[in-house]
Amino acid sequence: MMPITMANPGETVLIKRISGKDETRRHLNELGMVEGDYITVVQNNGGNMILQVKSGRIALDERLAMRVQF
């Protein structure tokens, strides 16, 4: 598994794991990131990312993006 920061813009990946403390995982789940769902990388700017999640877009800093693995 690799962190989502390794994915290229335009790439759609399957979330295999969300790591971190319970509150971090819960926060990412509330943003729509659920293990087993697909997300698309819209922009990757040095680890800070914009992701297409379901019907919306979210921005993650590098610290949070490293928790999402595909």
Task: Check residue 30 and give its pLDDT.
Answer: 96
Task: Check residue 47 and give its pLDDT.
Answer: 85
CATH architecture, domain defined by 4-56+64-69 = Roll (2.30)
Report how far residue 26's alpha carbon sits from residue 32's, in angstroms, rounded to the nearest whole number.
Answer: 10
18 beta partners: 68
Grouping H, G, I as helix, E, B as strand and the rest as coil, residue 28 is helix
pTM over 0.95: no
Contact 44, 5 (CB under 8 A): yes
Task: Check residue 22 and give its pLDDT.
Answer: 97
11-70 residue pLDDT tens: 999 999 999 999 999 999 999 999 999 999 999 998 899 999 999 999 999 999 999 999
